[in-house]
Amino acid sequence: EAVTVGCLASGFYPDDLTFTWKDASGKALTAVQYPPVLNNNRYMEVSLLQVQRADWDSLASFRCSVDHAGVPQNVTVIGLFMSALSSPCPEVINPPVVTLQPMPNGDTYSLICMIEDMPSKLSSVTWKRNGVEVAQQKTWEISPAGGSDSLISVLKVDKTEWESKSVYSCEVPHLGTTITKKTSSDTVAPVVFPLTQCNSGTGEAVTVGCLASGFYPDDLTFTWKDASGKALTAVQYPPVLNNNSDSVISVLKVDKTDWESKSVFSCEVAHLGRTITKKTSSGTVLLTLSHTHVSY
């Protein structure tokens, strides 16, 4: 049984940053470093380490060393998920809402990609099968769907192609980036773990996280809400592939006063049209990476 420990660095530039983990004896430990996320000309990056539960319960110490552009900075990890910096999370621009749904139709499947709440006119949608763009002879079209800010793109595939467990993706351009939704007949549900600080720290904000692991394909999104159901701004990191399954993390910063008053925050994980919800607060027992599984 293992416990997940995290180290978060935010508000830095350029993106030349590396994490190094060591135990109390100075022995280097193997961890996962996620790619940096750029927002408002500043980067945020996270590294996750798994340690044995017995070592964690015995109060063994672990050190996360952060080297940025040749300048080392040390952070001693004293909680299940500790923030390296206490600056506010960068603002996230709301992208259009993109959904992808397979629909059987006799000997074919219609893959329906809907794009809603577009901030600007959409010029094209790209379809791919196993990462390769679909040839023009495939039957697909883009048509209006209930308004000028919504579109539907449809890709028709043979039933045998669909059942071959290929991964199909719908790619939508947005402000210089690409929003990708994926679907496949071969899917694995994520296991979701909330990550919280063991104490409130010394800053004005508390960092909480949500980890989804072991899922396939990698089309997964996080939504954070407070107790009233209001959506909150958070950062979602790109997925990391390991042993043919993906892991991804989202982090949220909340006001220290709200956290200490035991306010409840919900992490909703959407994967291929299904949603898993986990709740966390300062009164929540910390969840660890155990043999808990989530099924649809």
Measured CA to CA, the distance from residue 286 to residue 155 in angstroms comes to 44
- Within this chain, do residues 152 and 227 fall inside the same structural domain, yes or no? no
What is the domain-level CATH number for residue 151? Answer: 2.60.40.10
Count: domains in the chain: 3
pLDDT along the chain (296 residues), means of 10: 77 81 86 81 82 75 77 44 35 67 86 76 80 66 53 86 88 80 85 74 78 86 92 87 82 87 90 86 47 29
The answer on 77 and 103 residing in a single domain is no
pTM of the entire predicted model: 0.52
Predicted local distance difference test score (pLDDT) of residue 65: 82
Report yes or no on 119 lying in a domain. Answer: yes
Domain assignment of residue 296, yes or no? no
CA separation for the pair 256, 5 (Å, rounded): 20
Region label for 41, one of left (φ > 0), alpha (ψ between -120 and 50) or beta (otherwise): left
Domain extent at residue 111: 97-174
- Res 244: pLDDT: 72
Domain end residue (candidates: 174, 199, 215):
174
Cβ-contact 86, 201 below 8 angstroms: yes
H/E stretch holding 259 reads helix 256-260
Q: How many Å from the N-terminal Cα to the C-terminal Cα in the chain?
A: 24
* Same-domain status, 12 and 35: yes
Residue 89 located in a structural domain: no
The pLDDT assigned to 292 comes to 28
As a whole number of angstroms, the distance between CA 70 and CA 251 comes to: 26
